[in-house]
């Protein structure tokens, strides 16, 4: 037998071993998949969505009705519906730094220096009346990480003012005449 025939024969003798291990892997995979399928179809009890649907339906029925903030002519005047709307504005724009409960402990605020303000305690840097809060939300606070939010429409910023004033323990009284004059000119 020539060297070439021996090399050819040794190559062919390795092929069945290689194919056998691939076949064993295939069989193992198929048995596993079939067993898992049988478990899901026959043994697993499934997911009961009936209870969740009831809970969601109850929550939807109890949820406050959404307001159209643009239909509110004077969003700076204290109003529970506007404050509730402001909570949504807060969660979308402020909670990352100030925290879900406005305690100054948001995930993005951990890296800031100085740390974000605890809005519940209300130690105000530039005043805590409605005008000062609106100016802060509009212009930010220079020298801090508090940016201005001019991209948020004025009615939403007023709703945010109402929300913050509804949760703070340090509510500074407004002068209604000054507030009305300021608010009608503020954009």
For residue range 25-56, what is the model confidence (pLDDT) as tens digits? 999 999 999 999 888 888 877 766 555 555 55
Average pLDDT taken over every residue of the chain: 84
How far is residue 73's CA from residue 70's CA, in Å, rounded to a whole number?
7
What are the b/e assignments for 7-33, b being 16+ CB within 10 Å?
eeeeeeeeeeeeeeeeeeeeeeeeeee
What pLDDT band is residue 8 in, cutting at 50, 70 and 90? low
**To 10 degrees, what angle do helices 176-185 and 130-139 make?**
30
Q: For residue 51, give every residue at least 6 positions away whose Cβ sits within 8 Å of its Cβ, in sequence order, or none.
A: none
How far is residue 132's CA from residue 134's CA, in Å, rounded to a whole number?
5
Least Cα distance to 92 among 159, 35, 22, 33 occurs for 159
Q: What is the pLDDT of residues 54-112, one digit of tens each?
A: 555 555 555 556 788 888 899 999 999 999 999 999 999 999 999 999 999 999 988 88
The region of weakest confidence among 17-21, 150-154, 165-169 is 17-21
Of the two residues 80 and 14, the one the predictor is more confident about is 80
Model pTM score: 0.65
How far is residue 166's CA from residue 86's CA, in Å, rounded to a whole number?
10
How far is residue 87's CA from residue 116's CA, in Å, rounded to a whole number?
17
Tell me, what's the pLDDT at 89? 93
> How many CB atoms within 10 Å of residue 50?
8
pLDDT beyond 90 at 186: no
Homologous superfamily, domain 67-185: Cytochrome c-like domain (1.10.760.10)
Tell me, what's the pLDDT at 15? 55
């Amino acid at each position: 037998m020539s060297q070439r025939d021996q090399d050819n024969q040794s190559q062919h003798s390795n092929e069945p071993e290689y194919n056998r291990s691939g076949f064993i892997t295939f069989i193992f995979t198929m048995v596993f998949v079939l067993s898992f399928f049988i478990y899901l179809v026959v043994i697993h009890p499934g997911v009961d969505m009936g209870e969740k649907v009831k809970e969601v339906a109850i929550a939807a029925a109890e949820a406050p009705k959404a307001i159209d903030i643009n239909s509110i002519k004077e969003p700076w005047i204290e109003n529970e519906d506007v404050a509730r709307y402001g909570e949504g504005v807060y969660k979308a724009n402020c909670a990352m730094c100030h925290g879900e409960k406005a305690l100054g402990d948001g995930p993005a605020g951990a890296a800031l220096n100085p740390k974000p303000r605890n809005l519940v305690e209300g130690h105000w840097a530039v005043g805590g009346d409605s005008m000062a809060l609106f100016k802060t939300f509009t212009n930010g606070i220079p020298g801090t990480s508090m940016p201005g939010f001019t991209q948020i429409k004025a009615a939403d910023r007023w709703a945010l003012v109402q929300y913050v004033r509804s949760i703070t323990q340090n509510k500074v009284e407004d002068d209604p005449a000054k507030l009305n004059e300021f608010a009608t000119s503020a954009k």
